[in-house]
């Protein structure tokens, strides 16, 4: 589990699949969206393990306890060996509320609405938003 004694923050965030690319993890650190034990960190900060990592992705702030360190990207099923999710349910509910606020949802790739669908959408918007 603990392969290394210390790992760069950006490399660890990428390795445990919190970001798709290392450059995205680096940008998040530079913008101040990543904190370790309530201190903003630079991408080059060395993580030691058994620390509390907070990641702010508006509208939610995720919290994790670092259980182990790795520099190599791990499979999604193995992430639980390195992170423990401490995010409260109230934070997760913010994400659900944001999803429910979408006025109309259309499946990706379904194209533009037809004239009939457009009238239904307009009536629905008038009913709920005006």
Please determine, for residue 2, whether its predicted confidence score (pLDDT) is greater than 50.
Answer: no
Is the distance from CB of 60 to CB of 95 less than 8 angstroms?
A: yes
**C-alpha 72: how far from chain center:** 19
Percent with pLDDT over 90 in the chain: 63
Q: Find where tokens 């938003």 sit.
A: 129
pLDDT in tens, 100-130: 665 556 677 888 888 998 898 888 877 766 5
- Report the C-alpha gap between 110 and 48 in whole angstroms: 48
Domains of the chain from N-terminus onward: 7-87 (3.10.290.10)
Task: Find the helix or strand (DSSP H, E) in which 1 lies.
Answer: none
């Amino acid at each position: 589990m603990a392969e290394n004694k210390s790992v760069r923050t950006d490399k660890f965030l990428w390795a445990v699949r919190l970001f798709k690319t290392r450059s995205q993890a680096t940008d998040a650190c530079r913008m101040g969206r990543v904190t370790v034990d309530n201190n903003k960190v630079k991408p080059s900060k060395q993580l030691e393990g058994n620390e509390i990592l907070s990641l702010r992705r508006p509208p939610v702030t995720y919290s994790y306890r670092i259980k182990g360190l790795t520099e190599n990207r791990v499979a999604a099923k193995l992430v639980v060996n390195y992170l423990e999710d401490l995010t409260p349910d109230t934070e997760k509910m913010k994400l659900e509320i944001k999803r429910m606020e979408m006025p109309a949802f259309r499946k990706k790739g379904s194209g533009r609405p037809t004239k009939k669908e457009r009238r239904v959408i307009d009536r629905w918007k008038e009913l709920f938003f005006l």
